Chains A and B, each alone.
Chain A
Amino acid sequence: MTTETADLNRLATPPTFQSVSTGRKIKNGIATGLVWLAFAVAIVPLVWVLYTVVQRGLPVVLDPDWWQKSLSGLLSRQQGGGVYHAIYGTLVQGIVCGLLSVPIGLFVAIYLVEYGGRSKLSRATTFMVDILTGVPSIVAALFVYTLWITTFGFGRSGFAVSLALVLLMVPVIVRTTEEMLKIVPDELREASYALGIPKWKTIVKIVIPTALSGILTGVMLALARVMGETAPVLVLAAYAPFINYNLFDGPMASLPLLMATERNNPTQAGFERIWGAAITLVLIITLFNLLATVISRWLAPKTK
């Protein structure tokens, strides 16, 4: 690693205009080639997955019924119906989870970067977030099941799912937000302090807006991850083929739960529902990503 610094130092000394040596040219060429190759290698499976989803799912979601109806009263081999019930469940569970996790995650990251320093609590929190990252979704689900359902005596519901998703979402938000806050140059903070602006205002008005696009990306990635989580919904919410608007009571479908249920349906109808639900989920996430982009551009500090 020290050679890199040496390189930089060496480059500083020679005369300004000198043709680039062949060795460096070759190295540059190889590196460029490798980077393009990595890109090409990666794009194949990634596009392949998307292609599979689109090719198998698109015909299904073009039917307006898909977006407006539930699967109530249909046999597993009967085609038709829609996934409105599952879309509703996914959105509500995801949004409620987001509403709970974003403030927690954001504040934890702020604490770690701006307040914690090297205190014991800060180190403990970092340690705990690390552990939380490692909680497999199924274990988080079992934890919520034991606490919320067995101990507190609530029924299985969409809200229980949201609670389990919070456990999965918070560490992702903390990790990415922390990373983004760290990158905000200290000069900005110091300039703000120098103007006599309180620390909290500096964080809210200077630090967070600077890091906002990164934070939003992180939040959206986290949301994408939890909305597609299958294990918690399997344990914490029963599947219902009909619409249930009540987050706090009764069986509630969601797109991953619908897919897991239909996974065991070997008929053509099951095939269509699985891939239709997949593309629906992807479309929903795309929508969220677009919104995030729009909002982050809107909120970004106007520097020019």
Chain B
Amino acid sequence: MNDRIVAKRPAGTGDAGAREGVPAARPATEAPIPPTTEADQNAPHVRPGDRIFRGLATGSGIFIVVLIGAIGLFLLLQAIPSLALDQVSFLTSREWSTGDVNNMRFGILDLLLVTVVSSAFALLIAMPIALGIALFLTQYAPRKLSRPFAYVIDLLSAVPSIIYGLWGLLVLAPVLTPVGEWLTDVLGWFPLFAEGNVSIELGGTIFTAGVVLAVMILPIITAVSREVFDRTPPAHIEGAIALGATKWEVVRTTVLPFGKAGYVSASMLGLGRALGETIALMIILSATNAAFGWSLFDGGATFASKIALAAPEFNDPRSAGAYIAAGLVLFVLTFVVNAIARSIVAGHKEYE
């Protein structure tokens, strides 16, 4: 039993590490198991079925690369002329006024901060809870209970974001108001909980937005993590149990290491959605003319909500370009987040 557990690990590992797209640091000792191409290339004749299938798969890969290239190019082409017209620094200004194309002043500092703070806050809430639910549903809950709850959670990822927005603003925000007031009263000395630049009563704060985002990404993180945890090889679990491990030790030594990469990847999927969330935040967040003051009780706009608010009025390519430039930054931001996630996953690959 013990042997088997140990023996199985590297097989999964080398493989996954290779595919993370991180070329560095693959221990030479894992080399003997070639997971991919080589095996059938040694065959004397490549079967036509293989060739077609391979072609389709590779073609799809190329298609994606070309597609993104096209989108990137489109964004750049639309953004550059506007950036050239910008009268203030695009990266460090807090102004946003694009109505007069002869005097466009736009900068993304506040958009960036609001986007990052609200998403990070949401992830901070959602990640541990999602881990808890996924473990609960796969390891702790009796089967009878876990099935229906898993359904409920899947169902929630089906609820459209506009509904989360309305629910957040009309149902949740009034309930959060006393919480927000308490936080600003008691912890107001701490910048994050300081009195913000919009009214707490109206609920259009980053605080409300973050909580709603957390609720929105919870089902996504949970659904994928659950799927991965569920696939922990029974042999691992049985092995641990046979060794006398408590439930928690079983989870810690088998399920978590096995599912960690999937969990992080799921969280990043959630973060990606939080960063790009449009309609819910457009409904919830109050716009404000004041600068972002590092408080959760500030208002403002995220990249996506700012673009969506203005999208119906994109008459002039120059002012539209300003928003598209903001979209480009969101692009880069998401990519950076993903890159970080991938390096985390790669760093822990020995546990996969």
Which residues of A come within 8 Å of B, CB atoms? 1, 4, 7-8, 11-12, 14, 16-18, 20, 24-25, 27-28, 30-32, 34-39, 41-43, 45-50, 52-53, 103-104, 107-108, 110-118, 121-143, 146-147, 167, 170, 172, 174-176, 178-180, 182-183, 185-187, 193, 198-201, 203-204, 214, 217-218, 220-221, 224-225, 227-231, 234-235, 255-256, 259-260, 263, 274, 278, 281-282, 285-286, 289
Contacts and interface: CB of A to CB of B under 8 A. Distances in A.
Given A142-B324, A201-B49, A32 B158 contact: no
Contacts of B133: 38-39, 42
Given A42-B218, A186-B35, A235-B311, A111 B60 contact: yes
Given A7-B253, A46-B156, A225-B157, A133 B58 contact: no
Given A230-B160, A230-B162, 16 more contacts: A32-B248, A38-B129, A39-B136, A41-B129, A49-B215, A52-B167, A122-B61, A135-B71, A176-B227, A182-B19, A186-B33, A200-B54, A217-B227, A221-B224, A255-B160, A282-B159
A133 B272 contact: yes
B269 A230 contact: no
Top 5 A-B pairs ranked by shortest CB distance? A38-B132, A134-B334, A228-B160, A285-B158, A200-B53
Contacts of B335: 130-131, 134
Contacts of A198: 40, 47, 49-50
A14 to B, nearest CB: 8
Nearest to B260: A1
B188 interface: no
Contacts of B23: 118, 123
Contacts of A259: 160, 162-163
Interface in B157-178: 157-164, 166-167, 171-172
A185 B133 CA distance: 26
Contact of B18 (A117, A274, A286): A117
A48 B137 CA distance: 19
B339 interface: yes
A221 B243 contact: no
B111 interface: no
Interface stretch (B90-98, B146-154, B191-199, B284-292): B146-154
A221 B154 contact: yes
Nearest to A14: B244
A228 B158 contact: yes
Contacts of A229: 160-161
18 contacts: A36-B140, A48-B171, A52-B171, A108-B64, A121-B58, A133-B272, A135-B276, A135-B331, A136-B307, A142-B327, A175-B265, A179-B227, A179-B262, A193-B40, A203-B53, A221-B220, A231-B308, A259-B163
Contact of A281 (B62, B160, B283): B160
Interface string B242-253: 011111110111
A116 B19 contact: yes
Given A107-B60, A286-B158, A139 B75 contact: yes
A29 to B, nearest CB: 8
- Interface residues on chain B, size class: 35 or more
Given A11-B249, A111-B57, A134 B161 contact: no
B61 A134 contact: no
Contact of B304 (A4, A121, A138): A138
B248 A50 contact: no
A285 B74 CA distance: 33
B260 to A, nearest CB: 9
B99 interface: no
Given A31-B251, A110-B57, A134 B2 contact: no
A7 B252 contact: yes
> Which of B72, B163, B172, B335 has most chain A Cβ within 10 Å?
B163
B330 A139 contact: yes
Contacts of A228: 158-163
Contacts of B33: 186
Contacts of A48: 167, 171-172
B207 interface: no
Contacts of B307: 136, 138-139, 142
B61 A125 contact: yes
Given A138-B307, A186-B15, A198-B49, A263 B262 contact: no
B108 interface: no
